[in-house]
Homo-oligomer: A and B are copies of this chain.
Amino acid sequence: MANINEIAKRAGVSVSTVSRVLNRHPYVSESKRAAVQHVIDEMDYAPNRSAVDLIRKETRSIGVIMPFNDNQAFDQLLHGVLNRSVERDYTVTVLPTKYDPEKELSYLAMLKNKQLDGIIITSRSNAWSAIVPYAKYGTIVACEYTDHPEIGCAYMDRYASFIDTFQLLKDKGHTRVAFMTARGEESNSTQLTIKAYRQVFGNLPSAYHIRDCYSIDDGERAAKQLLDLECRPTAVYANGDEVAAGIYQHARSMQLRIPEDLAIIGQENQPVGIGLRLSTVDHQLVKVGEQAFDLTIEKSKDKVEIPYRLIMRQSCY
């Protein structure tokens, strides 16, 4: 396809003038503008984005680091980011890590390569100390709180929401409460859950903490373990509605009544939870994603908290 020189030549003007009409600059005579536009249409010309990015030193495109893309929670965050990116005419690239730290770093390097103007981290597998150095190459925004001044944050107060939920369960008279987490001890979210649990209930029987839960299947597995226990829990707080759904399934298959025999609370207000009438803690991830996008393109390092809300349905009231 033609380039800007070709257009200039055919329109009988200089490349600067073509560039001016391309970028809608003022100070171009209507006659030349029309002539140039005519040639552009005729030649079916479109400016080369790489050349433009190269000289402008920005790409108007950001990346979203997410461990999985088949997980409702991360999809909600991505959804929020996309909502805004469309309005602001930015392009967004999905960067799936499967929690591989190397992969994550290689994505961060896209900032250095000037391939991306900014990156939103929905969940990370590297320590902040490994991530922060990349902030000098582009904006980095996290969907969790961190006090590093170089990192913008759009976050929900996970700890408070865990405290709230456990306290709610305790107030209802539950003393044997189990919970699920995704990754092992190293994850921020896992740590906070454990801390909140101890804060509310004191001791944490290790059998009441089931790890590596992501899907319905994981929920069934968790329920199996939990309900085989001598000392069955009377309530569980799942780390997502899909996991909660698995627990619900298994409990029902054992003829347990929900919530009388087992109270269940999930997270993120996902379709399966709505379908099964599960109570849930909605962290409003779509809003978190929208806020993260805004921070990113404003190159802001602010820390913005998004409120969560408890939605009570039949599985625990």
Contacts and interface: CB of A to CB of B under 8 A. Distances in A.
A49 B58 CA distance: 11
Interface in A249-266: 249
A106 to B, nearest CB: 9
Contacts of A10: none
A120 interface: no
A190 interface: no
A14 interface: no
Nearest to A48: B114
A89 to B, nearest CB: 9
B75 A70 contact: yes
Contacts of A286: 70
A113 B49 contact: yes
A110 interface: yes
Interface in A40-59: 44, 46-51, 53-54, 59
A49 B114 contact: yes
Given A48-B113, A113-B49, A272-B275, A94 B96 contact: no
15 contacts: A46-B109, A46-B112, A49-B113, A54-B54, A61-B93, A69-B78, A70-B286, A72-B271, A75-B75, A78-B94, A86-B98, A215-B271, A245-B271, A245-B275, A275-B276
Top 7 A-B residue pairs of the complex, sorted by shortest distance between their CB atoms: A49-B115, A50-B54, A245-B275, A272-B272, A50-B53, A46-B112, A49-B113
Interface of A: 1, 44, 46-51, 53-54, 59, 61, 69-70, 72, 75-76, 78-79, 82, 86, 91-94, 96, 98, 103, 109-110, 112-115, 137, 215-216, 242, 245-246, 248-249, 270-272, 274-276, 286
